[in-house]
């Protein structure tokens, strides 16, 4: 048996759709504060209460879904900085291509938290409550990241049973990988798209959605994301 | 309360974000009248709307902006102050409409076609409005034609374009070109996560601001 079918054995179906247990999804107030340009010691009780209340309201609005496919039909081309997946050429660029080169299987995923939190954010903004609206938006973003993290964790746990590792996850639109490749990604994902729609300009709807790619293999590593490798100096999530 | 006392109190409400009497924030001003009530009272005792605007509201927002730049306050306080300011401005609306009071200028803003992001644009709109500008918000997915109609109606306005994805930056470029070809004198300012000053230069826009505060600084400099 070759390695890749060995990995594929771990996944019952080529496509997997996941739904999430809300109780498992938690976010730290520090993350929300960072989006507001603050650290914990900058915040007063009023703000901390507001964040806490908003998080519990938002939790009730979560409609988290995720889907992924696992494939061994791919080839990684280090010279042209591309990855071909099921006949589709992805312009993944140097960094992502190199980091995935030891993959034995690839996972392509997308996930979303639904659009209720986004609607609540817009409703608050329309009422003139910009702070409340912005906090809901930040919570939505954080939940979306959280859901992506859970998919990643689930796959990591699954493959660990066969002594395999996962890489970090990479998304179109980051590390010079053009966001327009979203169209190819969604065509590979096919029915595992969990209802996310892609606009002509590659925007996923609901907005609070994340898509990406990760590798599985013996010689891969998942490392903590570090801000210093990113060039986005204005990023609201940048650790100061 | 005499005129000066009232204006000082109103300015405090805006500076510290006391929106109205019922508002729980800030806890130290609990149960007191807020920007809403005090603006009404100020008009009732005959204070001129222009004095309310300049000596209390804009005066306070300038202080807020200054404190924000000095990192003495953060985004939340800034947004609460802007809300207090905008609630007060509601009472002044009739005087803006009659032309008795003038704002600093007009600012048309929209997220460019193909892009549906609005949180960043909305924050900019709110803070710019709070700084004493009339804001005409065209919403999201706005094409060149819609911007042109708005500029035709408000030829002296400054125009702001927002985009959050690299895929919609070409649309920003097209819209900028179209606006500039029809209205070469209209000032264009751009913003949004993927754009920068280099891109501004490339598309012939006049200003780039990474955040609402620098957008206000840019706009205020135009009318200074
Ligand atoms: C939070 C976040 C997310 C969240 C929520 C996203 C959302 N759209 O709501 C999640 C995790 C879901 C996400 C997903 C994705 N994201 Co994202 N995300 C971010 C992040 C970290 C913050 C964005 C944010 O909400 N900021 C807060 C708001 C208030 O800021 P803002 O909109 O930028 O507006 C401020 C300024 O820009 C300015 N401004 C805005 N407009 C205007 C207009 C004028 C006239 C002026 C003067 C100023 C101005 O003032 C505003 C207030 O301060 C940014 C990185 C960053 N640099 O900020 C990336 C970023 C936006 N994401 C990016 C990408 C690529 C993605 C994904 C495509 C990744 C993927 N494949 O899954 C998806 C796309 C989602 C979709 N629906 O299609 C890229 C987009 C650029 C690109 N390459 O196209 C960014 C810039 C990261 C990067 N450096 O590459 N993302």
Q: How far does CA A153 lie from the centroid of its chain?
A: 12
A48 pLDDT exceeds 80? yes
Specify the pLDDT at position B113.
97
B191 to chain A: nearest residue by CA?
Answer: A234
* Residue A124 pLDDT class (50, 70, 90 cuts): very high
A3 pLDDT exceeds 60? no
Question: Across all residues in chain A, what is the average pLDDT?
Answer: 91
Q: Confirm if B205 and B190 have CB atoms less than 8 A apart.
A: yes
Q: Which of A99, A77, A74 is CA-nearest to residue A88? A: A74
Of A38, A46, A178, the CB nearest to B25: A46
B113 to chain A: nearest residue by CA?
Answer: A201
Lining residues, ligand 1, CB within 6 Å: A 141, 144-145, 171-174, 179, 203-204, 207-212, 232, 234-237; B 109, 117, 119-121, 123-124, 160-162, 164-166, 189-194, 209, 211-212, 215
- CB pairs A-B closer than 8 Å: 74
Tell me, in angstroms, the distance from the centre of ligand 1 to residue A236's CA.
Answer: 9
Chain B closest-CA separation from residue A125 CA (Å): 8
Does A137 sit within 8 Å of B119, measured CB to CB? yes
Q: What is the mean pLDDT of residues A71-82?
A: 95
ipTM comes to 0.95
Residue with the bigger pLDDT between A230 and B96: it is B96
Q: How far does CA B32 lie from the centroid of its chain?
A: 26
pTM over 0.90: yes
Specify the pLDDT at position B183.
98
Residue with the bigger pLDDT between A217 and A231: it is A217
Does A203 sit within 8 Å of B165, measured CB to CB? yes
A16 pLDDT exceeds 80? no
A47 pLDDT exceeds 70? yes
Question: Across all residues in chain B, what is the average pLDDT?
Answer: 96
Q: Which domains does chain B have, with CATH numbers?
A: 3-98 (1.10.1240.10), 106-223 (3.40.50.280)
Report cis status (omega within 30 of 0) of the bond before B26: yes
- Give the Cα separation of B185 and A140 in Å (integer): 40
Specify the pLDDT at position A1.
39
Asked if B167 reaches chain A (Cβ–Cβ under 8 Å), the answer is yes
Specify the pLDDT at position A230.
67
Q: Mutate which of B80, B81, B84, B119 to disrupt the A interface (most A C-beta within 10 Å)?
A: B119
Residue nearest to atom 55 of ligand 1 (CA): A235
- Give the Cα separation of A230 and B28 in Å (integer): 42
Specify the pLDDT at position A24.
79
Q: Which domains does chain A have, with CATH numbers?
A: 5-229 (3.40.109.40)
Q: What is the mean pLDDT of residues B177-197?
A: 97
A75 pLDDT exceeds 70? yes
Per residue in A188-217, pLDDT (tens digit) is 999 899 999 999 999 999 999 999 999 999
């Amino acid at each position: 048996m070759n390695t890749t079918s060995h990995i594929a054995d771990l996944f019952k179906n080529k496509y997997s759709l996941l739904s999430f247990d809300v109780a498992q999804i938690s976010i730290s107030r520090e993350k929300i504060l960072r989006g507001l340009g603050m650290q914990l010691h900058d915040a007063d009780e009023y703000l901390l209460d507001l964040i806490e209340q908003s998080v519990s309201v938002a939790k009730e609005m979560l409609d988290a879904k995720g889907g992924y496919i696992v494939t061994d039909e791919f080839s990684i081309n280090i010279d042209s900085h591309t990855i071909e997946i099921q006949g589709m050429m992805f312009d993944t660029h140097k960094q992502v291509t190199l980091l995935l080169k030891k993959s034995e299987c690839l996972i392509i995923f997308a996930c979303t938290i639904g659009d209720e939190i986004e609607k609540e954010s817009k409703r608050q903004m329309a009422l003139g409550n910009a702070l409340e609206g912005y906090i809901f938006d930040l919570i939505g973003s954080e939940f979306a990241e959280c859901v992506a993290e859970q998919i990643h964790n689930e796959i990591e746990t699954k493959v660990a049973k066969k002594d395999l590792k996962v890489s970090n996850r990479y998304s179109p639109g980051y590390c010079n990988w053009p966001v327009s490749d979203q169209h190819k990604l969604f065509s590979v994902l096919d029915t595992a798209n969990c209802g996310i729609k892609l606009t002509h300009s590659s925007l996923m709807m609901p907005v609070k959605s994340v898509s990406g790619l990760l590798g599985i293999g013996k010689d891969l590593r998942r490392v903590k994301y570090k801000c210093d490798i990113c060039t986005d100096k204005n990023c609201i999530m940048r650790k100061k | 309360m005499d005129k000066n006392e009232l204006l000082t109190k109103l300015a405090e409400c805006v500076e510290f974000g006391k929106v109205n009497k019922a508002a729980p924030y800030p806890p130290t001003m609990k149960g007191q009248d807020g920007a809403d009530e005090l603006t009404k009272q100020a008009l009732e005792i005959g204070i001129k709307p222009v004095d309310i605007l300049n000596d209390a509201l804009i005066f306070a927002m300038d202080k807020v902006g200054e404190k924000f730049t000095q990192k003495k306050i953060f985004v939340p306080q800034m947004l609460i102050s802007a809300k207090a300011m905008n609630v007060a401005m509601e009472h002044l609306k009739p005087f803006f409409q009659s032309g008795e009071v003038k704002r600093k200028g007009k600012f048309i803003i929209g997220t460019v076609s193909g892009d549906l992001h609005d949180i960043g644009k909305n924050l900019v709109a709110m803070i710019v409005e709070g700084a004493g500008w009339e804001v005409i918000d065209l919403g999201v997915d706005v094409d060149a034609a819609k911007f042109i109609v708005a500029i035709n109606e408000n030829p002296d306005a400054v125009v702001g374009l927002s985009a959050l994805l690299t895929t919609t930056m070409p649309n920003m470029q097209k819209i900028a070109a179209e606006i500039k070809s029809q209205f070469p004198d209209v000032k264009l300012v751009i913003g949004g996560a993927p754009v920068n000053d280099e891109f501004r230069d490339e598309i012939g826009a006049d200003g780039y601001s990474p955040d609402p505060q620098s957008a206000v600084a840019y706009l205020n400099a135009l009318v200074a």
